[in-house]
Amino acid sequence: MAWDTERTKRLLLDAATEEFSAHGLAGARVDRIAASAGVNKERIYQYFGKKDDLFAAVLASRLRRSMDEVPMEGVGPEAVGDYAGRLFDHHLADRIIPRLVFWEGLERGPATIADAARAEYHAEKVARFQELLPGIDRASAGELLLTIVSLVNAWPVLGHLDAFLLGGGPERPAGRRAALVAAATELARAALAAAGSAPEPPAVTASAPASEGAASDIQG
């Protein structure tokens, strides 16, 4: 029977996703990943390389999937707010990406900058985001997207701070989502205004006061 390489890779990625999400890069164990996948651990090194490379493959796979599952749709500030809300819903239902991103920042940090595949992914994401707000430049799009992603990723991981600051409670996810959508929408509106692409408010028509000369004519 031929060895199903792609199936083996999927099994390893799924097992590694759970392991890295729970324990981070340093705490994850290759033996546990292999046992969970039901695969010899030598296959990990054969298909993915060292543990750092497997972590990178796991996160890249999850990020790519989320781009398809949470597409950027529409145009304008409201579209940005809608995207932020849907991304929040996605990460709240499946907290793996926020956890992996936080682990990555703590344990890999600047080393990820050399990852060409990740750089390409983020460049594509910024380009798509620019399509939501025609007229803003790449730097402005990157700043706004970074703000949204940071806010979205933070709450599933730092939700305990919500209890300290706002008392917590079952209604808090909806409240946090509404606040995030409102903030993203306003920030997008401000970015458009700074780029000179925001629609001008309607002019207020008011009767101009009579000039001094005209007033004299009337009196005369």
CATH assignment at residue 4 = 1.10.10.60
- Predicted local distance difference test score (pLDDT) of residue 159: 85
Q: Is residue 209 part of a domain?
A: no
User: 112 and 185 in one domain?
Assistant: yes
Evaluate whether residue 59 is within a structural domain.
Answer: no
Residues 13, 105, single domain; the answer is no
Mean pLDDT of each 10-residue bin along the chain, 220 residues long: 78 96 95 94 93 94 93 97 98 94 90 85 95 95 96 92 89 95 97 74 47 42
Same domain, 112 and 174: yes
Residue 83 and residue 13 share a domain? no
Looking at residue 12, what is its pLDDT?
A: 95
Residue 217: per-residue pLDDT? 43
Give the whole-angstrom CA distance, residue 98 versus residue 96.
Answer: 6
pLDDT computed for residue 3 by the predictor: 64
102 and 3 both lie in a single domain: no
pLDDT at 144: 97
Domain, as residue range, for 20: 1-50
Shared domain for 140 and 38, answered yes or no, is: no
